[in-house]
Amino acid sequence: MTLSRLLVPWSQFRPLPLVLALVLALALAACGESAADASGGKGSGVAPPGPIDATPGETVERDGVAITVFEAGAARSFDRREQAADGKIFISARLSIRNSGSEIPAQGPDALVLELPDGTIGKPWIVTPGSRLRDTGPGPGEEFGGWRSWEVPEGTRAATLSFRPEPGVEIRFGFALSGEVRDRWQVTSDLRHV
């Protein structure tokens, strides 16, 4: 077979399919991940692992236990007391747990688990930006509030807090970190109301 038989004669050339293919390729490229998304920057398209019951600012009640996550954020240290390891950051959440049932809910490290988009979990951390939430849950009619922290890989931009107060009960709060990672987290909010 000769080269001339493989080449399309100019008279048979139709530019429309070529132009459509080029437009399709450009459209697909425009839908791809931007540099900011890839680096986990502001406007990151990373979503928390699902399913999700609520986001910070909302309250979910299930089987006599209610949990509210007020805020979540990331930092490299807490008031110079604790520094994250190289390649790690801390994610912290301020929350409140209310018991309207008759059993004391679990709220230790196995009951408050931070799930990451890659399928791993955050390492529970004892130091927090403010008063740490107790490991034992509130008694009937009581409410406890405080902070929990986890060490996660640097670049983490979304997570899901899975609260498992008793076997068979789970409440999931999903959030994306929209702000930058603080170098040092100093608590300025008033914790007396939680």
Q: How far, in Å, CA of 36 to CA of 106, rounded?
A: 39
What is the pLDDT at residue 186? 65
Start-to-end Cα distance in the chain: 82
Instruction: Specify the pLDDT at position 41.
Output: 37
Can you tell me the mean pLDDT for 26-37? 41
State the residue for tokens 């990151």: 44
- Phi and psi, residue 137, nearest 5°: -75, 170
For residue 193, the model assigns a pLDDT of 32
Which one, of 154, 130, 132, 145, lies nearest residue 74 by Cα? 154
> CA 133 to CA 146: how far, in whole Å?
4
Tokens matching residue 32 = 């791809």
**CA 22 to CA 25: how far, in whole Å?**
5
**pLDDT averaged over every residue in the chain:** 79
- Look at residue 168 in the predicted model and tell me its pLDDT: 94
Model confidence at 122: pLDDT above 90: yes
pLDDT confidence of residue 82: 78
**Where along the chain do its domains lie?**
59-176
State the average pLDDT over residues 83-99. 93
Across 86-103, average pLDDT: 94
Distance of alpha carbon 98 from alpha carbon 6, whole angstroms: 76
Share of the chain above pLDDT 70, in %: 71
Q: What is the pLDDT of residues 123-181, one digit of tens each?
A: 999 888 888 899 989 999 999 999 999 999 999 999 999 999 999 999 999 999 877 78
Task: Give pLDDT, residue 181.
Answer: 83
Which class in CATH covers the domain with range 59-176?
Answer: mainly beta
pLDDT at 27 over 80: no
Is the pLDDT at 15 greater than 80? The verdict is no
Q: What is the pLDDT of residue 89?
A: 93
Mode of pairing for the β-strands spanning 59-62 and 65-75: antiparallel
User: How does residue 184 score in pLDDT terms, banded at 50, 70 and 90?
Assistant: confident
